[in-house]
């Protein structure tokens, strides 16, 4: 690794903390203050509650909160499906896109409502501006806001004592949209336009090449879509090649802005958690555990890509790092970004449920490609998607304190509350359901004729691509290894994966918050296991590795590990 590459990683990490900490404090105020943004904005907020006929003073228990989330999501799913099917007859369609086929519309609607943004299509050739803006971009905001609202409700339940409610969904939703996502997106959109990202409602531009041929260049409202795509950990690109396209990501500075946007809110949520539960040292310990896994991912991916494969080294290609090139495996990577920035992006986007890419994952070395595959399989809790990452980490924290309780021979405690059988069962369900579903759906895909029709490549690499596809969909990531195509089977099975992957852990998290809200706190004693020191950080990382890591190890031996040994 060059000094320049190391400095890029260190600057990125420092910027994440410097920007994330104050944002987390602001988010804590958003969800705890009666009027966080002043009288005028408070009046507008009250107007929203009147429109949706919600009483902001009436709180919900976890079941009521979850039902509201589910109904809200189903309604938006139907609206997005209808927009896609009817786009050929609607306005803001200057390039005359036809209606999207039924199976693809169903899959895409589920993808964006669940904050997955898995794309079986090329955005610039399939979706009209209306679908991109009123359908996909709106869902980028709404699905992200739902995840953040849920984690705020869960944290509220953790912090309360002997309570039956965890908050009001409409209050949390509005504040997330109005006081967090929209302001941040305006800032990021302006920065991206400044860097050259298009923002227009005009149709395709026509250019004449040096050979005299005519070329149609897709453009549109790209900058605004790009901003919420990253800040909401959505990941769905305006263009098929995502953020590797210069129109989505034109400069080195735009690349840094977008990489920071991916993890900004998930990192800030950790500090929000510490503030809301009055346990900042514990929050820093959770942040340290997340950052440790993040650093391990870069420490494996970057050297693997820098070293390249045996086939590449034997081909005679000069892969030596120097002042004029990054060296290593540059296949499907942008020269203007190099190895370090591509490694940061690859790890960040799969630690979060983001799914955007600035290079092709399918062309990475077996060891390098195993990193994003494993990151997603862990549940994307490092730092995870907006909301979903942190409440996913809560499952592992419960399991960690349970293990600690077994070691010291007493009932486990977390933040002053006894962790009993109910909480442990909920945490086990939340942590293990999705990994189990990933392996099940992958097996189903590779042993059935309908499933095999979706797999374009044979052998171990085809298995890896299939495993990655269901890993990505089930964990609501959205990135892909390529080599896995659209069929009726893959569209419908992927829809099931995305819906269950979103709502089963979400309802488990709400149930956990509701259970903890009812508990009384007990004073710490000499036998209480501390959750704010290095020992807890080490234990938490170990539990993550042993819980999800061991589940994926057999699958890795059938895919990336075998592929690495073959090369």
State mean pLDDT over 470-485: 88
End-to-end CA distance of the chain: 23
Of the chain, the percentage scoring pLDDT greater than 70 comes to: 98
State mean pLDDT over 7-33: 93
State mean pLDDT over 91-109: 90
Helix axes 421-447, 550-558, angle to 10 degrees: 10
Point out the least confidently predicted range of 307-316, 328-337, 378-387, 434-443.
307-316
Point out the least confidently predicted range of 171-175, 288-292, 310-314, 492-496.
310-314
**Does the pLDDT value for residue 220 go beyond 70?**
yes
Helix and strand counts by DSSP (H, E) for the chain: 23, 4
Q: How far apart are CA 377 and CA 369, in angstroms?
A: 13
The tens digit of pLDDT for each residue in 22-74 reads 999 999 999 998 888 778 888 999 999 999 999 999 999 999 999 999 999 99
State mean pLDDT over 542-551: 90
Q: How far apart are CA 372 and CA 347, in angstroms?
A: 6
- pLDDT of amino acid 1: 59
Bridge partners (DSSP) of residue 216 are 206
Point out the least confidently predicted range of 206-215, 243-252, 460-469, 485-494.
206-215
- pLDDT of amino acid 323: 67
Confidence of residue 522 (pLDDT cuts 50, 70, 90): confident
Torsion of CA 494, 499, 501, 506, to 10 degrees: 170
pTM for the predicted model, two decimal places: 0.93
**Does the pLDDT value for residue 474 go beyond 90?**
yes
State mean pLDDT over 186-212: 89
- 476, 116 contact by CB (below 8 A): yes
SS3 label, residue 207: strand
**Does the pLDDT value for residue 444 go beyond 90?**
yes
- pLDDT of amino acid 261: 95
**Does the pLDDT value for residue 216 go beyond 90?**
no
Label residue 565 exposed, middle or buried (CB < 10 Å: 0-12, 13-18, 19+).
exposed
The tens digit of pLDDT for each residue in 145-172 reads 999 999 999 999 999 999 999 999 999 9
- pLDDT of amino acid 2: 66
- 155, 246 contact by CB (below 8 A): no
Q: How far apart are CA 557 and CA 268, in angstroms?
A: 36
């Amino acid at each position: 690794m060059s000094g320049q590459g190391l400095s890029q990683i260190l600057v990125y990490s420092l910027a994440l903390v410097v920007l994330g900490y104050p944002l987390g404090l602001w988010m804590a105020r958003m969800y705890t203050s009666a009027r966080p943004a002043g009288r005028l904005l408070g009046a507008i907020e009250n107007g929203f509650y009147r429109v949706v006929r919600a009483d902001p003073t009436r709180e919900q228990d976890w079941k009521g909160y979850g039902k509201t989330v589910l109904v809200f999501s189903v309604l938006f799913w139907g609206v997005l499906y209808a927009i896609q099917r009817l786009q050929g007859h609607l306005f803001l369609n200057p390039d005359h896109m036809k209606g999207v086929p039924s199976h693809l519309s169903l899959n895409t609607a589920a993808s964006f409502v669940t904050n997955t943004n898995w794309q079986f299509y090329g955005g610039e050739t399939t979706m009209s501006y209306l679908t991109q803006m009123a359908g996909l971009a709106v869902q980028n905001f709404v699905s992200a806001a739902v995840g953040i609202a849920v984690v705020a409700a869960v944290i509220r339940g953790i912090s309360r004592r002997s309570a039956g409610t965890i908050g009001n969904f409409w209050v949390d939703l509005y504040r997330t949209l109005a006081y967090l996502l929209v302001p941040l997106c305006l800032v990021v959109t302006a920065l991206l336009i400044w860097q050259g990202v298009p923002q227009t409602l005009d149709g395709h531009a026509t250019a004449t090449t040096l050979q005299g041929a005519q070329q149609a260049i897709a453009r549109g409202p790209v900058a605004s879509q790009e901003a919420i795509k990253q800040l909401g950990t959505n990941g769905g690109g305006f263009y098929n090649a995502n953020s590797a396209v210069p129109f989505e990501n034109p400069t080195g500075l735009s690349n840094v802005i977008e990489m920071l946007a991916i993890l900004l809110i998930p990192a800030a949520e950790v500090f929000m958690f510490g503030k809301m539960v009055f346990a900042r040292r514990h929050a820093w310990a959770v942040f340290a555990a997340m950052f440790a896994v993040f650093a391990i991912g870069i420490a494996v991916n970057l050297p693997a890509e820098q070293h390249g494969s045996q086939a590449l080294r034997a081909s005679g290609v000069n892969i030596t790092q120097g002042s004029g090139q990054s060296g290593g495996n540059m296949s499907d990577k942008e020269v203007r970004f190099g190895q370090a920035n591509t490694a940061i992006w690859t790890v960040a986007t799969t630690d979060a449920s983001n799914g955007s890419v600035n290079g092709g994952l399918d062309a990475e070395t077996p060891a390098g490609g195993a990193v994003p595959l494993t990151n997603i399989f862990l549940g994307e809790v490092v730092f995870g998607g907006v909301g979903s990452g942190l409440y996913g980490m809560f499952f592992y924290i419960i399991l960690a304190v349970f293990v600690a309780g077994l070691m010291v021979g007493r009932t486990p405690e977390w933040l002053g509350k006894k962790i009993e059988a109910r909480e442990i069962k909920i945490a086990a369900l939340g942590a293990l359901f999705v990994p189990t579903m990933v392996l099940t759906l992958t097996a189903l895909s590779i042993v059935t004729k309908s499933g095999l029709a979706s797999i374009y490549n044979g052998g171990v690499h085809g298995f890896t691509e299939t495993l990655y596809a269901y890993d990505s969909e089930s964990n609501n990531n959205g990135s892909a290894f390529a080599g896995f195509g659209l069929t009726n089977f893959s569209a419908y099975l992927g829809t099931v994966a995305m819906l269950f992957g979103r709502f089963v852990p979400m309802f488990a998290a709400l149930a956990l918050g509701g259970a903890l809200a009812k508990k009384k706190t007990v004073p710490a004693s000499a036998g209480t296991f501390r959750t704010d020191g290095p020992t807890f950080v080490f234990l938490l990382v170990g539990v993550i590795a042993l819980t999800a890591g061991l589940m994926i190890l057999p699958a890795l031996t059938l895919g990336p590990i075998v592929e690495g040994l073959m090369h």
